[in-house]
């Protein structure tokens, strides 16, 4: 896929939010979800002294971004890692604190556009869905081997799928005849399993099942639960974090971490809050900001995006 066609989601807002933290000569910014490198390229172009660390679990994304970011190679470190491995990556690079962190969560444009990765329900492809194709179980393995109760749990928890039992019942019946391997058959089974009234609303009826499988295959929510607090811990005082999430489960996790960091932790009733109980984060967005009509027109994949930002205002007190 050509990086020239790739439009990063809510790019200007990410740059504006991170800018005050990235003005110094020794500023380090981490793009925890490198993807095709669109956000990273803009950060390097707009902040000529900044050093960038880019993480991605997808080796194909790293190869493409390395090419795209070649003009800035002397200021870039690209690392094959999942974003909850940020503390280990920084330790390996000898970096104690960073000034900026960016997360653009969910599935990347490249993964959606490359049919053989199996992320998209609109075209037939092997049911893989692994962001890192060097390890882990595929979506086909999940569908073919998980007990029915576990599949129902995944569809409900990760896809917020109200018809989970009905879909899983159809999947179990079909996998007994022949294991699932391609996405088109799964889409067909889901479509046949759902009542007509459900199929008339909410877009492709397979959307929530595919989301749930992808989250399970890549452990996305468990990783995110570790990654956001780790990123906050890595920020220097005055450092900023920007997060783009694409469904309510991700956004809820980010909101919880930010809200906890922005609250004081003093026992109730204390007349004066001592330093060690003061908030360590300041929220920079009012709730989750949504993309504008122009941003969606420029990049339709921005439509479900939710944007949150925070600033580190105090060191943790041991």
List, as residue ranges, the binding site: 37-39, 56, 83, 104, 111
Instruction: Determine the longest span between alpha carbons in the chain, in angstroms.
Output: 68
CB 167 within 8 A of CB 187: no
47: Cα within 13 Å, side-chain hemisphere: 26
User: Which one, of 168, 135, 138, 123, lies nearest residue 150 by Cα?
Assistant: 168
Could you list the residues known to form a binding site for S-adenosyl-L-methionine, using ranges: 37-39, 56, 83, 104, 111
Contacts with 142 (C-beta within 8 Å, 6 or more apart), sequence order: 151, 154, 213, 216, 217
CB 59 within 8 A of CB 134: yes
Q: Could you tell me the strand order of the sheet in which 76-80 lies?
A: 76-80, 51-56, 28-31, 98-104, 235-245, 306-312, 281-283
User: Which one, of 102, 39, 84, 57, lies nearest residue 243 by Cα?
Assistant: 102
């Amino acid at each position: 896929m050509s990086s020239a066609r790739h439009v990063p989601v809510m790019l200007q807002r990410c740059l504006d939010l991170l800018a005050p933290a990235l003005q110094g000569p020794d500023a380090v910014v981490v793009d925890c979800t490198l993807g095709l490198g669109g956000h990273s390229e803009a950060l390097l172009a707009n902040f000529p002294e900044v050093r960038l660390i880019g993480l991605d679990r997808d080796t194909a994304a790293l190869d493409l971004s390395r090419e795209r970011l070649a003009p800035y190679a002397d200021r870039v470190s690209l690392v094959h890692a999942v974003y909850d491995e940020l503390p280990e990556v920084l330790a390996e690079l000898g970096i104690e604190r960073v000034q900026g962190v960016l997360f653009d969560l969910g599935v990347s444009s490249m993964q959606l556009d490359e049919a053989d990765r199996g992320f998209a329900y609109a075209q037939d492809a092997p049911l893989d869905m692994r962001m890192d194709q060097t390890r882990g179980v595929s979506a086909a393995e999940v569908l073919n081997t998980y007990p029915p109760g576990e599949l129902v749990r995944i569809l409900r928890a990760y896809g917020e799928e109200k018809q989970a039992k009905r879909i899983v019942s159809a999947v179990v019946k079909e996998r007994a005849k022949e294991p699932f391997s391609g996405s088109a058959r799964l889409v067909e089974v889901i479509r046949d399993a759902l009542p007509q009234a459900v199929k008339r609303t909410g877009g492709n009826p397979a959307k929530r099942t595919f989301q749930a499988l992808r989250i399970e295959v890549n452990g996305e929510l468990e990783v995110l639960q570790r990654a956001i607090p780790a990123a906050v811990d890595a920020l220097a005082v005055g450092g900023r974090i920007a997060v783009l999430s694409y469904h309510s489960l991700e956004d809820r996790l980010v909101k919880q971490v930010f809200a906890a960091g922005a609250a004081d932790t003093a026992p109730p009733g204390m007349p004066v809050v001592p330093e060690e109980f003061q908030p360590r984060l300041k929220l920079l967005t009012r709730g989750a900001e949504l993309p504008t009509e122009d941003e969606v027109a420029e990049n339709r994949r921005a439509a479900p995006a939710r944007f949150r930002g925070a600033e580190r205002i105090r060191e943790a007190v041991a």
